[in-house]
Amino acid sequence: MFSLYKKEVQSYFLSPFAYVVSALFLLVFSLSFVRGISTMNSNVMKFSFPNIFYNNFFYFIFMIPLLTMRTFAEERKSHTETLWLSAPITIPQVVLAKFLAVATVYLIMLLLSLFFPLVVFWHGSVVGSSLLCGYIGFFLWGLVCIAVGMLMSALTDSPIIAAVLGEAAMVLVLFLDNFTSTQFVQSVKPLHAILSWFSTENRFAVFSQGLFSIADLVFFLALSAVVLIWTIIVIEKRRWSRG
């Protein structure tokens, strides 16, 4: 499995693909950073970095499907998936290797953005707990989006369609989060309790306050695992249908 993971990571960085997505990620982050600084009324650079993640997650999720759209769709389109379908490696290992490869690229993108907290630390102050938990929460949130994007990629043989389906799925997740906060849902207590429990936005909000929640950590990891299991089922079903 490690060899496949290594191959997948190298495939991103041996092409300009990962660099373009990382550049877009840093561009959005830097614009949000500059906007946050420019609207301050004090000379002291003191604000919440998790707010940058929280307020711009809508833009960030459009980049994740760009990373996941080729995980399965590209190989299915080029008929190269038969290489690992017939290889001495299980489908769960293939899915996990690809998931970890995309997660590694995503983690590197986040590490590159640490330049901005360093700038703030040099010129002002940084709330360490809020910064660390914000990054952890955003990374976990991203893992769920990566798993969803890979599932969409497993459903089609077109990377473009996989990207569109991934975007639609993630917009739906955000819509459900926003729908949970509406007055109608809040007036129906049982419905609000259920939707709030599944709300990824509310889970991230806990981390953004500088609080590390084991329950929310388990939620993000469990949700990612469930979506990955669906991906395994989709691929296994296609594998057995081929005979």
75-97 tens-digit pLDDT? 887 777 766 666 677 889 999 99
Other CB atoms within a 10 A radius of the CB of residue 14 amount to 9
- Specify the 3-state DSSP secondary structure of 163: helix
- Specify the 3-state DSSP secondary structure of 55: helix
pLDDT score of 120: 73
- The Cα–Cα gap between 101 and 98 comes to 5
Average pLDDT over residues 55-65: 76
Cα 175 to Cα 68, 124, 167, 180: the distances in Å are 21, 36, 12, 9
Residue 186 pLDDT grade (very low, low, confident, very high; cuts 50, 70, 90): confident
pLDDT(41) > 70: no
pLDDT(37) > 60: yes
pLDDT tens, position by position, 163-185: 999 888 888 887 877 777 778 77
Note the pTM of the prediction, 2 decimals. 0.87
What does R_g of the chain's alpha carbons equal in angstroms? Answer: 19
Contacts of 68 (CB under 8 A, 6+ apart): 102, 146, 149, 150, 152, 153, 162, 166
